[in-house]
Amino acid sequence: MAATKTSDTAKKRWLWAIVFILVLVGVWYWLTQSNAATNAANSTRPAMGARGAVKTPVKTADVVQGVVEERLYSVGTVQAFNTVTVRARVEGELQKIHFKDGQFVQSGDVLAQVDPRPYQAKLDQAQGQLKQSLSQLNQAQSDLARFQTLAKQQSIAKQQVDNQVALVDQLKGAVDSAKAAVDDAKLQLSYTKITAPIDGRLGLRNLDEGNLISAANTDGLVVITQTQPIAVSFSLPENDLQRLMERLELEQTLTVHVSDRQNKLISSGALLAVDNQINMDTGTVRIKASIPNLDNRLFPNQFVSVNVLLAQHQGAVIPSSAVQTGSIGDFVYVMDAEQKVHIQKIHVGLMADEQSLVTEGLNLGDKVVTEGTDRLREGSAVEAVNNPSGVRGQGAITP
């Protein structure tokens, strides 16, 4: 038993010795790797005395002579100047339709034909009645001339002559009535041809051939909307009304641009009218513009983005991303020839389309920082990392 206990104790000692050795090896390995990483980092870090301070990478843009457009923006609705529901003026069977859904038509084009036979019969009847009245009038006038001759010869009573004069006048009235009946019958017959009252685009027809149609049909045959030109209605805040009216008085008319929801230009036109009162609920005033719509890309009730060009201002232009705001007001970081930046207070006259028109504080050719300004201070050393493919030119902004 004693020998066995001694053997177990020796084994435990050996195990503890092995574990202790493994721990020492692990500590040694960790210290070795840590020193190697520190040496590598130190070898890649530039010496302060040899390389100077670390430069902050930034993007810059030149101050250039450019144009910034002053615009007013809004959301508008396309409206047709004229919308007409085409209805029949007479009742009858719809014999023939001469148009296709969505077709463009001009005023006077025949759209459909109503059965003309009943109205042709009425015209024939009216013309027959007119012939009868004319024949009776001619006979009465001939008798009147004979009676007047006999009256001069004192061969007939004056009362008979007077009765004949009255009969002639009566028959003249009958002739006039018959002529009016003929004209009315011709008019009713002409209404059997349904024509377009205005130029425009047809919608989808509401009736097919063979149906009965009448003036009482409220839906009508089809709807025509005038699309060339077309109107765009939008609203502007009352704060912008003064600027709009001032420019309108100077220019007489203002250009209006219409874009889709992706801000892609659809068409341009002219401002047409300004409402005569401000909506008290919304604090806006309604504006209407006229758009030529020659390519028919605008549809009534379509929502569009609208902007009104008030003026074009020329001067020193920089990207709006370069403009910072602080306790001193608007300022920019200007990079000098030694690639150091300095805070320069500026006055921005107008900001539009991600460009700013600077009226004070900068000169043409100055370089301003557009990206990386959050890491800068007065006198910071920087390094411009602009895209070499950027194009510069008159009115251009370096990306």
For residue 336, give the DSSP letter. -
Q: Within 10 A of 13 (CB to CB), how many other CB atoms are there? A: 10
Q: Which of 54-58, 128-132, 303-307, 387-391 bottoms out in mean pLDDT, i.e. has the lowest?
A: 387-391
pLDDT value for 369: 93
The pLDDT mean for the chain works out to: 85
On the question of pLDDT at 4 being above 80, the answer is: no
On the question of pLDDT at 397 being above 50, the answer is: no
What predicted TM-score, i.e. pTM, was given to this entire model?
0.65
* Whether the Cβ atoms of residue 147 and residue 88 lie closer than 8 Å to each other: no
pLDDT value for 388: 52
pLDDT value for 6: 54
Confidence of residue 184 (pLDDT cuts 50, 70, 90): very high
3-class secondary structure for the chain?
CHHHHHHHHHHHHHHHHHHHHHHHHHHHHHHHHHHHHHHHHHHHCCCHHHHCCCCEEEEEEECEEEEEEEEEEEEEEEECCCEEEECCCCCEEEEEECCCCCCEECCCCEEEEECCHHHHHHHHHHHHHHHHHHHHHHHHHHHHHHHHHHHHCCCCCHHHHHHHHHHHHHHHHHHHHHHHHHHHHHHHHHCCEEECCCCEEECCCCCCCCCEECCCCCCCCEEEECCCCEEEEEEEEHHHHHHHHHHHHHHCCCEEEEECCCCCEEEEEEEEEECCCCECCCCEEEEEEEECCCCCCCCCCCEEEEEEEEEEEEEEEEEHHHCEEECCEEEEEEECCCCEEEEEECEEEEEECCEEEEEECCCCCCEEEEECHHHCCCCCEEEECCCCCCCCCCCCCCC
pLDDT value for 216: 85
What's the one-letter identity of residue 280? M
Nearest alpha-carbon partner for 206 in 326, 86, 303 = 86
What are the structural domains, with CATH classification, of the chain?
56-68+313-384 (2.40.420.20), 71-81+225-312 (2.40.30.170), 84-111+199-224 (no CATH), 116-191 (1.10.287.470)
* Span 325-338, pLDDT tens digits: 988 899 999 999 88
- Segment 191-206 mean pLDDT: 94
On the question of pLDDT at 215 being above 90, the answer is: no
Q: Do strands 230-237 and 200-202 pair parallel, antiparallel, or not at all (unpaired)?
A: unpaired
Measure Cα distances from 179 to 121, 129, 167, 188, 282 in Å: 16, 9, 18, 14, 60
pLDDT value for 130: 94
On the question of pLDDT at 85 being above 90, the answer is: yes
pLDDT value for 399: 29
- Segment 61-78 mean pLDDT: 92
Confidence of residue 25 (pLDDT cuts 50, 70, 90): confident
> For residue 42, with 0-12 CB atoms within 10 Å meaning exposed, 13-18 middle and 19 or more buried, which class applies?
exposed
* Proportion of the chain above pLDDT 90, given as a percent: 57
- Segment 64-70 mean pLDDT: 90
Q: Which of 138-152, 181-195, 290-304 bottoms out in mean pLDDT, i.e. has the lowest?
A: 138-152
* Span 33-43, pLDDT tens digits: 655 544 444 44
On the question of pLDDT at 101 being above 90, the answer is: yes
pLDDT value for 237: 93
* Span 109-144, pLDDT tens digits: 999 999 999 999 999 999 999 999 999 999 999 988
On the question of pLDDT at 313 being above 90, the answer is: no
- Segment 57-86 mean pLDDT: 92
On the question of pLDDT at 239 being above 70, the answer is: yes
